[in-house]
Structure 1
Amino acid sequence: MLRRAETYDALYGGFRWDIPERYNMGVDVCDRWAAREPDRLALTFVEKDGSIRDYSYGDLKRLSNRLANLLADKGVARGDRIGILLPQAAETAFGHIAAHKLGAISIPLFMLFGEEALEYRLANSGAKAVITNADGAAKLAQIRDRLPELAHVFTIDGARQGTLDLHSEMAGQSEEFQPVDTAADDPAVIIYTSGTTGQPKGALHAHRVLLGHLPGVEMSHDFLPREGDRIWTPADWAWIGGLLDVLMPALHHGVPVVAHRFEKFTGEAAFQFLQDHKIRNAFLPPTALKMMRQVESPEKRWKISMRSVASGGETLGAELLDWGRRVFGVTINEFYGQTECNMIVSSCGAIMDARPGIMGRAVPGHRLAIVSDGGEELQTGELGNIAVRRPDPVMFLGYWNNEAATDAKFAGDWLLTGDTGIRDEDGWIRFVGRDDDVITSAGYRIGPGEIEDCLIGHPAVKMAGVVGKPDRQRTEIVKAYVVLADGIAPGENLAREIQSWVKTRLSAHEYPREVAFVDALPMTTTGKIIRRELREQAKRELEGK
């Protein structure tokens, strides 16, 4: 979708959206290629034992058509919701494709969700069918009687009590299916937000959301697609980062997607995977990068040939960027977005030098600004809300059955991301933090990301989370919760050394006045630090609890 340019200004200024009125995401990522090159490689699935199963676009079309026919026979119709409770798997891919070709709405669901999380999402969405495996079926069995709208559960690994064997049921279905004629604005997928405050909300997206993602995906991968590209991510396809930042855009572009279910993700396993499967492009969340960074001398132990590495979710700093250049041979491109409006900011090493601690610039096609709570655009250098102007193809249609929350997401025509930032005179946007993550200390407003990045640069630090702890004199002080590298013992001397490390590298007002050593940090299922829990812990410490 992007035309290659030599400068950012030329790239942004020369871009125009071309969104067709009639458009179906499933047809786009599958049938379009199957008609032109049915034998073209679409998916490579690596089993636990290392065996490989390849799927062509022709395979995906046949499988998704059989599934669409099966769902239709079971009474699933246009607009019905279909939960897909699976890890990275071929069935995950053709499950979404079938739902979209049927005109139904797919709901990606994370395998590690507990019964309560699943019950809320399936009840809230009114899901009529779920495609899962034995593990998912066991959880659903405990809540099925509280989900009256859930009519069918299909399992990919054989029938269980109360489920149908997906593949056996598909076997008797036709490989021919006439996709539903959908508009680009018709609903296609509900992705539930992380739900760090209150119950998660279902962000309803239209078929056009894929087209809206393409400029950001292409920019963050230094102009994807290129000859020889081959992409992988450890991010689960149940999240927007795996599904719409990798799987669907790659299928759209004809770039082979390599998939694998790690029983346990480690840095060593990731490097081995990159080498063994000749990965050229990767989306690596910050947590994965930090784990890989703990591996000693990877550039000497593995032969990898990366063309692009993208990361999003948290701001990367100089330490990780420098490490990435040395190990991957490319600049890690940062991107930014959220479930409601994703891939709207990115860097692009092919045409502009990265700026540590700064996410990037507006992706072509998206109008961004820093605005007040009331939606007034602020001046360059002012701290405010990172906002996106509507209409925008990547923007959600609204929260499922929650008009009040949808209205609250906007200030006029500006979608408020809930994140604060600063834009400089060149349009670079520095992420400061979530509204409630910003630390106010002695009159300073301090973002935790830069401090966390500085902390992990210390050789003794493996992971770090930074929050504000209430303080009578300063309003808040900076407190750091630190996970130490293997073999490092905590102690007061090390705490002082870490404090000095930050003070001399950042500033005196940003160093952590308190350092606590912990075994692990609270993390979301997408690998982000849950600072809210750390803030609550800091308050409990203050109260002596």
Structure 2
Amino acid sequence: MAAPLFKDYATLRREFHWDLPARYNIGADVCDVWAKREPDRTAILRRLPGGGSERISYGTLREASDRFALALKSLGVGKGDRVAILLPQSPAVVIAHLATAKLGAISLPLAVLFGPDALAYRLRDSGAKVVLLDEGGLAKLGQIETDLPDLETLISVDGAGGGALDFESLVAGAQGELTPVASTPGDPAMMIYTSGTTGQPKGAVHGHRVVPGHIPGLRFAHPGLGQADDVMWTPADWAWAGGLLNVLLPSLALGVPVVAGLHAKFSVDEVLALLRDLKVRNAFLPPTALRMLQAAHRPGEAYRTHLRSIMSAGETLGPGTYEWAREAFGFPVNELYGQTECNLVLGSSFQAGISRPGAIGKSVPGHEVEVQDEEGLTCAPGEIGEIVVKAPDPVMFLHYWRNEKATAAKFRKGWLLTGDKARRDEDGYLDFIGRSDDIITSAGYRIGPGEIEDCLMRHPAVAMAAVIGAADTLRTEIVKAFLVLKPGFSPSAELTRDVQLFVRERLSAHEYPRVIAYAEALPMTSSGKIIRRALREGD
């Protein structure tokens, strides 16, 4: 008798064990294994402008990633070098990650929403040697005035020009045979910048183990993932941990085709068309995307697509959206939790019997998660404490880039501190309460105030700035800024618009303050730190 496709939670926990090999390389495992076994198997389904799609096989990905790796090698890229990827969802993103991993270099995904200032900081701090980009990215880099001494080469997917080499020509012209570096699971593979909850963002360095480490969480949210007709899609940018590690790389490692959608503003009609036309079976939809679908609810069978499983993460889903989604799609959404440094460690899976409105869920098999008090003691049921994760763990970051002090502060007595508050009930479900730091969760993005405040302070009218998250029905929170103006400037609608545009153009569209309040002074501690808690409480 065949083993059941779905197992209950207790069985999954009891039977789980990690089995990471001594040698593991993301590029080889995600792509080359399947290319050797089934070269014509579809890896990427690319949505085309005007409708229709094209299929990119694992064999094609292997050839292209080998060629690009050889091209990078000829440009001097080697083990440990950082290769930045500044592109929307596209096959080139996959090729770049695979090629970088095969060389033993470190990929640096960068969101296309970032403005010049945000890009300059990450490129300078990481010491990126190469950037793969498109015409839009090239224009942003042209606005960067900061010196980037480590950046040697720009490669454009839109053709040579503006000081950039042509991606396709490099791939076509590469010569030789490539043998992927024999990496270990703990060797550095990628660096994803945090949201900058205190000060500037930090580069969280992950090992090659991060991809197999995410597979248990992915399969918890999508039980039986890897069936013959499975197709995965997310509207999330592949530069974010959610798009890259909740979807792209682990899905490909399981042989599941991933849809590369058009990079455009979220449209309910286009989303529903994509789900139907490409017969998407599995999706990662952040809560804001689900709320937008909910707000534009179509009666009848509009949402009864080919989908068989949906996961959601990045912020709490909320009982209302949970109940709507269950009715609209015909099954509950599986909610998961994690952060850039340690992802997909808590979650729900209705197929495994773990699903409750308003709750994150329980520890994903393979991960040990607790709620602890400030002394590191396990909280009693109903008591609010901090979510902590037992180290070591395959999804756990190796360290912050060139920041030993911050790395050490992230751990306490063998547990990673998330900074997020929760309480566990008598049944073991975790309810998310809030953040013990000042992070803002907006439309699925985790936003730190430090980078925004730094940008605001560069505006000629701003003397002091503080940023908090203000409650919002659609986005969970929006960015709200409190400004103290310099002498000679007065609050006005025109100044508000100018400040908002200033931040939006320099950082990103999701980070600019949608609300601005003007103040004579800001609440400060005796050491000169802004008391954001006082601003939130008075908001």
Q: TM-score range by the shorter chain?
A: 0.7 to 0.9
Query: Which residues in structure 2 correspond to 1:350-499 (within 5 Å)?
Result: 350-436=351-437, 481=472
Q: Could you tell which deviates more after superposition, 532-541 or 129-138?
A: 532-541
Separation in 1, partners of 2:536, 2:257 = 49
Separation in 1, partners of 2:311, 2:300 = 18
Separation in 1, partners of 2:442, 2:68 = 46
CA deviations on 1:427-449 (whole Å, 9 max, x unpaired) are: 211111111479xxxxxxxx999
Match of 2:211 in 1: 210
Match of 1:349 in 2: 350
Separation in 1, partners of 2:420, 2:10 = 25
Contact 2:381–2:425, Cα closer than 8 Å, also in 1: yes
Where structure 1 has 5 or more consecutive residues not aligned to the other structure, the ranges are 439-446, 450-477, 485-518
> What is the one-letter code of the residue matched to 1:155?
S
Contact 2:8–2:351, Cα closer than 8 Å, also in 1: no
Contact 1:144–1:150, Cα closer than 8 Å, also in 2: no
Separation in 1, partners of 2:513, 2:389 = 25
Match of 1:45 in 2: 46
1:542 Cα deviation from its structure 2 partner:
5.7
Separation in 2, partners of 1:222, 1:76 = 39
> What is the one-letter code of the residue matched to 2:278?
H
Match of 1:8 in 2: 9
Match of 2:316 in 1: 315
CA deviations on 1:460-483 (whole Å, 9 max, x unpaired) are: xxxxxxxxxxxxxxxxxx985557
> What is the one-letter code of the residue matched to 1:189?
M
Q: Does 1:129 align with 2:106?
A: no
Separation in 1, partners of 2:425, 2:343 = 21
Q: Does 1:242 align with 2:224?
A: no
1:538 Cα deviation from its structure 2 partner:
8.9
Match of 1:270 in 2: 271
1:269 Cα deviation from its structure 2 partner:
1.9
Q: Percent identity?
A: 48
Aligned residues: 471
> What is the one-letter code of the residue matched to 2:276?
Q
CA deviations on 1:317-368 (whole Å, 9 max, x unpaired) are: 2221221122212210000000000000111111215211110110011111
Contact 2:6–2:224, Cα closer than 8 Å, also in 1: no
1:143 Cα deviation from its structure 2 partner:
2.6
Contact 2:234–2:243, Cα closer than 8 Å, also in 1: yes
Match of 1:102 in 2: 103
CA deviations on 1:205-253 (whole Å, 9 max, x unpaired) are: 0000111111001101133222311110000000010001100011001
Contact 2:81–2:128, Cα closer than 8 Å, also in 1: yes
Distance 1:57 1:175, change over 3 A: farther
1:106 Cα deviation from its structure 2 partner:
0.0
Distance 1:353 1:373, change over 3 A: closer
Q: Does 1:72 align with 2:65?
A: no
Distance 1:319 1:207, change over 3 A: same
Distance 1:100 1:530, change over 3 A: farther
1:381 Cα deviation from its structure 2 partner:
2.3
Separation in 2, partners of 1:338, 1:377 = 21
Separation in 2, partners of 1:32, 1:181 = 14
CA deviations on 1:6-62 (whole Å, 9 max, x unpaired) are: 321111111000011110011000001001100000001112222422110000000
Separation in 2, partners of 1:211, 1:525 = 31
Separation in 1, partners of 2:273, 2:516 = 34
SS of aligned partner of 1:157: coil
> What is the one-letter code of the residue matched to 1:179?
P
> What is the one-letter code of the residue matched to 1:88?
Q
SS of aligned partner of 2:29: helix
> What is the one-letter code of the residue matched to 2:235?
P
1:108 Cα deviation from its structure 2 partner:
0.3
Distance 1:413 1:353, change over 3 A: closer
Q: Could you tell which deviates more after superposition, 269-278 or 329-338?
A: 269-278
Match of 1:164 in 2: 165
Separation in 1, partners of 2:509, 2:253 = 24
Contact 2:323–2:357, Cα closer than 8 Å, also in 1: no
With structure 1 as the length reference, what TM-score do the two structures score?
0.81
Match of 1:327 in 2: 328
Match of 1:195 in 2: 196
Match of 1:87 in 2: 88
Match of 2:282 in 1: 281
CA deviations on 1:179-228 (whole Å, 9 max, x unpaired) are: 11111100000000122442111000000011111100110113322231
Separation in 2, partners of 1:183, 1:540 = 45
Distance 1:46 1:20, change over 3 A: same
1:425 Cα deviation from its structure 2 partner:
2.9
Separation in 1, partners of 2:104, 2:153 = 18
Contact 1:65–1:174, Cα closer than 8 Å, also in 2: no
Q: Could you tell which deviates more after superposition, 129-138 or 322-331?
A: 322-331
Match of 2:305 in 1: 304
Contact 1:313–1:528, Cα closer than 8 Å, also in 2: no
Q: Does 1:29 align with 2:30?
A: yes
Separation in 2, partners of 1:230, 1:360 = 25
Contact 1:268–1:295, Cα closer than 8 Å, also in 2: no
Separation in 2, partners of 1:421, 1:527 = 26
Match of 1:148 in 2: 149
Separation in 1, partners of 2:396, 2:325 = 31
Separation in 2, partners of 1:529, 1:8 = 42
Match of 2:448 in 1: none
1:112 Cα deviation from its structure 2 partner:
1.3
Separation in 1, partners of 2:382, 2:33 = 46
1:314 Cα deviation from its structure 2 partner:
1.4
1:540 Cα deviation from its structure 2 partner:
9.6
Contact 2:197–2:438, Cα closer than 8 Å, also in 1: no
Contact 1:285–1:527, Cα closer than 8 Å, also in 2: no
CA deviations on 1:119-145 (whole Å, 9 max, x unpaired) are: 110111110001000110111123376
SS of aligned partner of 2:350: coil
Match of 1:453 in 2: none
Separation in 2, partners of 1:366, 1:483 = 31
Distance 1:83 1:532, change over 3 A: farther
Match of 2:185 in 1: 184
Separation in 1, partners of 2:391, 2:334 = 26
> What is the one-letter code of the residue matched to 2:254?
H
SS of aligned partner of 2:371: strand
Contact 1:324–1:332, Cα closer than 8 Å, also in 2: yes
With structure 2 as the length reference, what TM-score do the two structures score?
0.81
Where structure 2 has 5 or more consecutive residues not aligned to the other structure, the ranges are 444-468, 476-496, 518-530
> What is the one-letter code of the residue matched to 2:26?
M
> What is the one-letter code of the residue matched to 1:114?
G
Separation in 2, partners of 1:526, 1:116 = 13
1:299 Cα deviation from its structure 2 partner:
4.2
